[in-house]
Amino acid sequence: MRMSVIGCGYLGAVHAAAMASIGHDVVGIDVDEGKVAALAAGTAPFFEPRLTELLTDGLASGRLRFSSRMADAAGADVHFLAVGTPQTAGGHAADLRYVDAAVEDLLPHLRPGDVVAGKSTVPVGTAARLAERLVGTGAALVWNPEFLREGWAVHDTLTPDRLVVGAAPDADGDRAVDVLREAYAAAIETGTPFLVTDLATAELVKGAANAFLATKISFINAMAEIAEAAGADVTLLADALGHDGRIGRRYLGSGIGFGGGCLPKDIRAFAARAEELGRGEAVGFLREVDAINLRRRDRAVQLVVDALGGLVFGRRIAVLGAAFKPFSDDIRDSPALDVAVRLRGLGADVVVTDPAAIDNARTAHPQLGYAQERDDALREADAVVIVTEWDEYRRDLSPAHAGGLVRGRIIIDGRNCLDAAAWRAAGWQYHGMGRR
Ligand code: NAD
């Protein structure tokens, strides 16, 4: 099948490469010429496991190419929209200008029978509005929200938990759904559920999934606040809750909370859209979810300050992690960097390290100190903060080894990812989030 993928960021580049890897003929389109040049040369413009391998294979097979000209999308049977939908400057709603521009640019290249499949995360009602723009072209619009996790994007694209396709309830909609069914035949054959809905429900599934996941994380972080006040341990609490099959242990990791280019802006946009629909009160709890999440960053900073006896000015603090999560170089709304920036703001001599995100972090926050190697960050540190749970810190860093490098054996575990007993036994003052 011939496909175009419009927008080649974290979502689109992976989608294009994954679709080519299962035999489709794909062109990725992006307005960013630097990104297009990198992708066309087989270089992933961001860190994502397995992406380089897929790009190399796809380009070599001739089934994958990249272009900055929308005209090169012409002739594709399905056009996936994967452009960004960031938070509007100064507001909470989603900024739809990139989606609108992409659709306008695509219109002259559509043929009757083409399918435009929206993958970007958009406020409910967007798809119906865009479908109006397609009237007269003979092309049909479906909404096919994306649920991939950065760090697992290739895996999640090739073997998703489910595929959701929203379409208009008419013959064109039915035919467009069949085109998507063919596009995803490889996953469907291995048992991936393929759920067909109307346009609004498909858009809402994505918003609701993000709202639920964010709520689950903030729920356990709210319990961490209570555990702190009561002298309990939130990690043991989460283990005990997780054994309840109705609750489950996943997404009950307490710590400095969620970040990244999706969850924070998506729950805000979801609440903003609910307000527009006159149902703001139905998701008023999302404001609380957001507030709990942001409070954990304050708490992590406070733990460092307290552990250093209130004196952080001029103290050297090793910050392990910059990416918003491991296996990614994405620093968009990263809680890790937020903590680093705040500590720097208090006058600390902050040295950040990260296996993948240093370059992005340095560009965004040149005022911070950086060390390429973990051990260089640890050397002579008065305190250590783990803010991204990379294996290099969580699994591979022994308290004895770290103890030989630092000046002060103080560790703040912002992700509750370390064995507290082992660190204490090695003479460290260990502080977790919501742990005794
Ligand atoms: P991104 O910022 O990494 O990529 C967006 C890309 O779109 C950029 O490369 C940009 O240059 C390009 N673009 C903008 N306007 C364009 C236009 N008119 N024509 C062609 N290209 C254009 O963003 P992302 O993280 O890939 O997210 C894209 C969408 O997918 C968002 O709606 C996001 O919420 C959603 N999403 C992202 C993820 C994720 O994990 N990153 C997961 C699920 C859904």
pLDDT digits (tens, 9 = 90+) for 194-231: 999 999 999 999 999 999 999 999 999 999 999 999 99
Do residue 220 and residue 182 come from a single domain? no
Contacts of 304 (CB under 8 A, 6+ apart): 312, 317, 339, 343, 348, 383, 385, 412
Is 201 a domain residue?
Answer: no
Residue 32 in contact with ligand 1 by CB distance below 6 A? yes
Contact 195, 235 (CB under 8 A): no
Residue ending a domain, among 290, 315, 337, is 290
Residue ending a domain, among 290, 309, 341, is 290
- In which band, very low, low, confident or very high, does the pLDDT at 53 lie, cut at 50, 70 and 90? very high
Sheet hosting strand 64-67, strand order edge to edge:
64-67, 25-29, 2-6, 78-81, 115-118, 140-143, 163-166, 194-197
Give pLDDT tens digits for 143-170.
999 999 999 999 999 999 999 999 999 9
Is 124 a domain residue?
Answer: yes
3-state DSSP call for residue 93?
coil
Is 384 a domain residue?
Answer: yes
pLDDT above 90: residue 377: yes
Do residue 282 and residue 300 come from a single domain? no
Is 117 a domain residue?
Answer: yes
What is the percent of the chain where pLDDT is above 70?
100
Q: Which of 14, 154, 262, 289 is catalytic?
A: 262
Report pLDDT for 314. 98
Do residue 419 and residue 336 come from a single domain? yes
- Given the cut 0.85, state whether the ipTM is greater than it: yes
Average pLDDT over residues 248-262: 97
Residue nearest to atom 4 of ligand 1 (CA): 9
Residue 269 in contact with ligand 1 by CB distance below 6 A? no
Do residue 101 and residue 7 come from a single domain? yes
Residue ending a domain, among 139, 174, 196, is 196
Q: Which atom of ligand 1 is nearest to the CA of 35?
A: 9
Do residue 223 and residue 267 come from a single domain? yes
pLDDT above 90: residue 337: yes
Do residue 303 and residue 170 come from a single domain? no
Do residue 58 and residue 120 come from a single domain? yes
Do residue 136 and residue 57 come from a single domain? yes
Q: Where are the alpha helices (DSSP H) in 316-416?
A: 335-345, 358-364, 374-378, 391-394, 399-403
CA distances from residue 100 to 6, 131, 272 in whole angstroms, order as listed:
12, 11, 19
235 alpha carbon – ligand 1 mean position (Å): 35
3-state DSSP call for residue 419?
coil
Do residue 58 and residue 163 come from a single domain? yes
Is 152 a domain residue?
Answer: yes
Is residue 8 among the annotated active site residues?
no
Do residue 191 and residue 51 come from a single domain? yes
289: which 2 tokens? 């979810």
Residue 36 in contact with ligand 1 by CB distance below 6 A? no
Q: Which atom of ligand 1 is nearest to the CA of 98?
A: 15
Residue 44 in contact with ligand 1 by CB distance below 6 A? no
Is 187 a domain residue?
Answer: yes
Report pLDDT for 275. 97
pLDDT, mean over the chain:
98
Is 202 a domain residue?
Answer: no
> How many distinct structural domains can be found in the chain?
3
Do residue 270 and residue 188 come from a single domain? no
pLDDT above 90: residue 384: yes
Average pLDDT over residues 167-179: 97
CATH number, domain at 134?
3.40.50.720
pLDDT above 90: residue 436: no
- Domain with 44 in it: 2-196
Q: What is the DSSP secondary structure assignment for residue 324, as one 8-state letter?
A: S
CATH number, domain at 250?
1.10.1040.10
Do residue 350 and residue 391 come from a single domain? yes
Is 111 a domain residue?
Answer: yes
